[in-house]
Amino acid sequence: MKRLLLGLIRSHENTSDKAKDPKLKSHYYRLSKDRAWDEVTSILKKMKGYKVLHEVQTVGEIVMEKKSMSGRTMDITIQVVGTSPGNTAVDIYSASRGSLGDLGANYRIIQEIYSVLDRKLSSYKA
């Protein structure tokens, strides 16, 4: 319910180590940055309903978009960051185009992407 109320005024959501909501904390994998990049980009390109627009491996950034059922477009940025040799963090920022709130859609998108990544990379989850 809280997410829905926040969604009336907010049209973006992001993850970080300092997030108060445990579902919005960064996800870590026991993979080198290059290997994590290859795995994550491969998984994201296969996700239905999402379109990869741009990827920059040198900075670890993937830009995607998703159209909602209501026709609204969400811009999603995924960052793959090497935290130490053999460990990588994945953070997500999702924002809806337009001025009104998203009714929690960006929160749900982040949960969906993390769910897919965690399922496919379960043996590497830190």
- Over range 11-35, report the average pLDDT: 94
Q: Does 5 have pLDDT greater than 70?
A: no
Rg, C-alpha atoms of the chain: 14
Q: What is the pLDDT of residue 95?
A: 93
- Looking at the predicted structure, is the pLDDT value of residue 9 above 70? no
Per the prediction, the chain carries an average pLDDT of: 91
Asked if the model's pLDDT at residue 4 lies above 70, the reply is no
Q: For the beta carbon of residue 64, count every other beta carbon within 10 angstroms.
A: 22
Mean pLDDT, to the nearest integer, of 27-50?
97
d(CA 104, CA 64): 18
Tell me the residue range of the domain where 120 lies: 2-124
Look at the chain and report how many structural domains it folds into. 1
Give the C-alpha separation, 32 to 39, whole Å: 11
Structure tokens that stand for 53 in this block = 């627009």
Q: Which residue has the tokens 């963090």?
A: 89
Report the share of the chain in percent with pLDDT over 70. 93
CATH number at residue 106: 3.30.530.20
Say which residue, 12 or 64, is predicted with more confidence: 64
Q: Which amino acid is at 91?
A: D
How confident is the model over 61-115, as pLDDT tens digits? 999 999 987 788 999 999 999 999 999 999 999 999 887 777 788 999 999 999 9
Mean pLDDT of 38-47: 97
The answer to whether 87 touches 26, Cβ cutoff 8 Å, is no
Predicted confidence at residue 70, as pLDDT, reads 77
Token output for 18: 């300092």
